[in-house]
């Protein structure tokens, strides 16, 4: 399961790096205030998902920097983010990818004077819950049948408070019901923002 996740994360890092760079350039261009704010928030969102995927690669590989740096060499944003992650993990400040993603989102939003609409702690939980999407997507990509994939997921992600059965059922349907494998980036976004926008949905601490 870990190998499939690592491959998916590597592809996501490259894709999100390109998206984040494009959105930052677009957000900096002259525009109407409402459009500019929307584009700026999309740039922050892209940075948060980049942080999430870089952190997941790093922490799931037992802090193997060689699995992160090759994917961010051509991006100043990516390199700075990776170095910040390494330092904060070494200092014990970051223990889970969702935490690093939430910190990145709020830092970007604060710099651009944008409102996230939730707490940093809740956002960390919501980003953490994308683990369900990543793992099930990786299992379908390998050809694992749905029941076996869900069973393996429940053994790996044991906190029902953090990973409720309703979420597992919903995501497994989204992954396995379509005739073709769904886009992982969109699926992760739906999980994270569906959680963030649902009041009271994220009560468990990310860990």
40-90 confidence digits (pLDDT tens)? 888 899 999 999 999 999 998 899 999 889 888 888 888 999 999 999 999
Last residue of a domain, one of 87, 102, 123: 123
- pLDDT class for 36, splitting at 50, 70, 90? confident
Asked whether the predicted pLDDT for residue 20 surpasses 50, the reply is no
Give Cα 82 to chain centroid, integer Å. 15
One domain for residues 111 and 13: yes
One domain for residues 173 and 80: no
Number of structural domains found in the chain: 2
- pLDDT class for 152, splitting at 50, 70, 90? very high
- Over residues 14-30, mean pLDDT: 45
More confident residue, 20 or 93: 93
One domain for residues 6 and 104: yes
Asked whether the predicted pLDDT for residue 23 surpasses 70, the reply is no
One domain for residues 108 and 152: no
Residue 85 domain-assigned? yes
- Over residues 26-50, mean pLDDT: 72
Mean pLDDT of the chain: 84
- pLDDT class for 131, splitting at 50, 70, 90? very high
- pLDDT score for 31: 47
- pLDDT score for 67: 85
Question: Tell me: the pLDDT tens digits for 171-204?
Answer: 999 999 999 999 999 999 999 999 998 865 444 5
Residue 111 domain-assigned? yes
One domain for residues 8 and 101: yes
The angle at the Cα of 20, spanning 193 to 23, to the nearest 5 degrees, equals 95
Instruction: Report the alpha-carbon distance of residue 120 to residue 67 in Å, rounded.
Output: 27
> Which residues constitute the domain of residue 45?
2-123
One domain for residues 116 and 35: yes
One domain for residues 165 and 78: no
Last residue of a domain, one of 90, 123, 156: 123
One domain for residues 150 and 48: no
One domain for residues 31 and 119: yes
Residue 137 domain-assigned? yes
One domain for residues 18 and 111: yes
Residue 206 domain-assigned? no
Tell me which residue has tokens 């369900």.
132
Whether 191 contacts 132, CB under 8 Å: yes
Instruction: Report the alpha-carbon distance of residue 85 to residue 80 in Å, rounded.
Output: 9
Residue 205 domain-assigned? no
Last residue of a domain, one of 123, 150, 166: 123
- pLDDT score for 204: 53
Instruction: Report the alpha-carbon distance of residue 129 to residue 83 in Å, rounded.
Output: 24
pTM, full prediction:
0.79
């Amino acid at each position: 399961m870990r190998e499939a996740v690592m491959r998916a994360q590597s592809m996501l890092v490259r894709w999100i790096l390109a998206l984040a760079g494009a959105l930052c350039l677009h957000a900096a261009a002259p525009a109407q205030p409402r459009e500019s704010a929307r584009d700026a928030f999309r740039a922050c969102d892209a940075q948060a998902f980049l942080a999430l995927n870089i952190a997941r690669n790093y922490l799931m590989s037992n802090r193997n920097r060689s699995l992160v740096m090759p994917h961010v060499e051509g991006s100043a944003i990516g390199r700075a983010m990776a170095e910040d992650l390494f330092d904060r993990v070494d200092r014990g400040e970051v223990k889970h990818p969702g935490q690093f993603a939430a910190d990145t989102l709020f830092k970007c939003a604060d710099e651009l004077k944008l409102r996230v609409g939730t707490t940093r702690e809740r956002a960390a939980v919501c980003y953490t819950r994308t683990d369900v999407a990543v793992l099930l997507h990786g299992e379908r990509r390998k050809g694992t049948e749905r029941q076996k994939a869900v069973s393996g997921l429940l053994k790996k992600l044991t906190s029902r408070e953090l990973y409720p059965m309703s979420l597992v059922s919903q995501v497994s349907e989204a992954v396995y019901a379509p005739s073709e494998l769904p886009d992982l980036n969109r699926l992760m976004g739906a999980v994270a923002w569906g959680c963030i926008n649902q009041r009271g949905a994220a009560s468990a601490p990310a860990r």
